Homo-oligomer: A and B are copies of this chain.
Amino acid sequence: MHYHHGDLRRAMLEAATEAIAANGVDRLSIRGLARATDVSHTAFRHHFGDRRGLLTALAAEGYGSMSQVLRAVDRTGPEGFLETGVAYIEWALAHPAHFQVMFEPDLVDMDDPDLREALDGLAGALMMGAADFAGRDQAGDPRTNPLALAAWSLTHGFATLALAGNLPTDGAPVGELARDVLRHLAPPTQPGHPPTEPGHG
């Protein structure tokens, strides 16, 4: 046992990831992390400042990881427009702790420069994927393009509901179900009547 831990910052982030995934972020205890890492409960302050700083770092790590994964997606296939969404969902299910922190602004310090930089990186990756849905001619910015926003909402909603345990995840891999769900996104038809035509038509 050394006085210097070696890489306490990383160890704390990993311990927090496990603890949040197991018990939820509301039951995350700094002192519990310190015990798991075998340091004093104030050791983390040098690296993160306070509890919120730790969660902010975790969120930034999540933005970076997700951004990296989404940018590596092969979107050239016949259903390439779906792949970013599927990757988004699979990443969320594989990183529940990060995902939970990433989209709860109450938990983090939104003014943190590292966080903002990582978030901007993810936003860029999302726009690339959304452009596949919206059509390559159009901008994929959800702020201006309702179809892109619909793609993001659908993907994010599926991931959120799945993480909250509201989906039948029994047996079949979620990736296939996600594909089936994401396929139901379509451009708008004439306003005034529904774009869906039930089977009896």
A residues with a Cβ closer than 8 A to B are 23-27, 78-79, 81-82, 103-107, 133-138, 142-143, 146-147, 149-150, 152-158, 160-161, 164-168, 177, 179-200
CA distance A41 to B8 in the complex (A): 38
Within 8 Å by CB of A185, from B150, B164, B199, lies B150
Query: What residues of chain B lie closer than 8 Å to A185, measured between beta carbons?
Result: 150, 154, 184-186, 195-196
A103-B164, A158-B157, A160-B156 known; A184+B180 contact, CB < 8 A? no
Q: Which residue of B lies closest to A186 (CB)?
A: B186
Please give, as numbers and ranges, the residues of chain B lying within 8 Å of A135 by CB-CB distance: 196, 198-200
Shortest A185–chain B CB gap in Å is 6
Known A-B contacts A79-B192, A153-B154; A24 and B147 likewise in contact (beta carbons under 8 Å): no
Look across to chain B and name the residue whose beta carbon is closest to the beta carbon of A154. B154
Chain B residue numbers with a CB within 8 Å of A138 are 198-199
Tell me, in angstroms, the Cα distance from A167 to B136 when the chains sit together: 22
Knowing A24-B106, A137-B200, the reply to whether A154 touches B150 (Cβ < 8 A) is: yes
**Given A24-B107, A79-B193, A103-B161, 7 new contacts (CB under 8 A):** A133-B196, A134-B198, A150-B158, A150-B184, A157-B158, A184-B186, A186-B196
Give the distance in Å from the alpha carbon of A154 to the alpha carbon of B146 in the complex.
12
Q: How far is the CB of A163 from chain B (nearest CB, A)?
A: 9
Which chain B residues lie closer than 8 Å to A177 at the CB level? 146, 149
